[in-house]
Structure 1
Amino acid sequence: MNQTLKVEGMSCHHCQAAVEKAVKGIAGVENVQVDLAKKEVVVTGSVDREQITKAIKEAGYEVVG
């Protein structure tokens, strides 16, 4: 199952890597794709959206949609 989240605060490849690392650390995540231009994170796997949101916020970014 794919989930797409809009994330604010990402502006460079370091941001992209930080978000990717945070989300990949969640059990059940199979794949993570971070698109800086669209400010989107696409997560594949069986994981709760709240867990993804929490991991992104803990990494210092804001989920806006």
Structure 2
Amino acid sequence: MTQTITVEGMTCDHCEQTVEEALEALDGVASATADRDDESATIEGAADPEALVSAVEDAGYEASA
């Protein structure tokens, strides 16, 4: 299953990596790709959308499902 969430506040490659690592640490996430230009993250897996948003917010970025 592919999910996409909105992520605001990423400004560089390191930001994208931080978001990806935060998402990939969740159970049910097979992989994650963040894109600062599109202000989004695409997640492969069956994780709860609220958990995805919380993980990104815990990493210091604004997110919404």
User: How does the TM-score come out when normalised to structure 2?
Assistant: 0.93
Partner of 2:33: 33
C-alpha distance in structure 1 between counterparts of 2:12 and 2:64, whole Å: 18
Question: What is the aligned partner in structure 2 of residue 60 from structure 1?
Answer: 60
| Alignment RMSD (CA, Å) | 1.0
Structure 1 residues 1-65: aligned runs within 5 Å: 1-65=1-65
For the residue of structure 2 that corresponds to 1:50, the secondary structure is helix
Question: In structure 2, the residue corresponding to 1:10 is in which secondary structure?
Answer: coil
Cα distance, 1:26 vs structure 2: 0.1
* Aligned sequence identity (%): 37
Shift of 1:64: 3.9
Amino acid at match of 1:30: A
TM-score by length of 1: 0.93
Aligned residue for 2:26, secondary structure, equals coil
Structure 1 stretches of 5 or more lacking a match?
A: none
The number of equivalent residue pairs is: 65
Divergent runs of 4+, >3 A: none
Structure 2 segments unaligned to the other structure (5+ residues):
none
